[in-house]
């Protein structure tokens, strides 16, 4: 499984781009570092007003050589459950804490074989509102 932040600067992410959301994102074996920018007016992210501002992280998740794999992503300690990704493997998550939350990615095939990785966010800076 590959989890990265290599997303084209022009890729539409629900009305924003990766440079709008983050900078210098690095994904290691167990953690994510860099900066999640504070964003306001992110209407494409949610219909809920309270979820349209905050810190977001865009990720690209794939299982090389296995296009029919199912990938789910969850913000552990977040307010919603796992999200199954579309075939493009792109997801934007909203973060509230780099100390109490983490990102869990699960890739499975045929409902029986799976790989799980969990990434700490302690190396990620959540920029404050301006």
Q: Which domains, and CATH codes, for the chain?
A: 2-126 (2.60.40)
Helix segments in 1-130, DSSP class H: 18-21
39: which 2 tokens? 């964003």
Contacts of 82 (CB under 8 A, 6+ apart): 72, 73, 74, 104, 106
Q: How far apart are CA 120 and CA 9, in angstroms?
A: 25
Instruction: Encode the chain (130 residues) as per-residue pLDDT tens digits.
Output: 999 999 999 999 999 999 999 999 999 999 999 999 999 999 999 999 999 999 999 999 999 888 889 999 999 999 888 999 999 999 999 999 999 999 999 999 887 779 999 999 999 999 998 6
What's the pTM? Answer: 0.94
Contacts of 29 (CB under 8 A, 6+ apart): none
């Amino acid at each position: 499984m590959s989890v990265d932040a290599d997303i084209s600067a022009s890729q539409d992410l629900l009305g924003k781009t990766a440079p709008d959301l983050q900078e210098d994102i690095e994904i290691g074996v167990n953690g994510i570092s860099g900066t999640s920018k504070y964003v306001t007016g992110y209407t494409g992210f949610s219909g809920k007003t309270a979820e349209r501002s905050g810190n977001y992280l865009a990720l690209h998740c794939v299982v090389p050589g296995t296009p029919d794999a199912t990938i789910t992503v969850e913000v552990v300690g977040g307010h919603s459950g796992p999200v199954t990704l579309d075939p493009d493997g792109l997801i934007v998550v909203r973060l509230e804490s780099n100390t109490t939350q983490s990102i869990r990615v699960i890739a499975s095939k045929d409902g029986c074989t799976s790989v799980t990785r969990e990434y700490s966010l302690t190396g990620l800076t959540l920029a404050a509102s301006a």
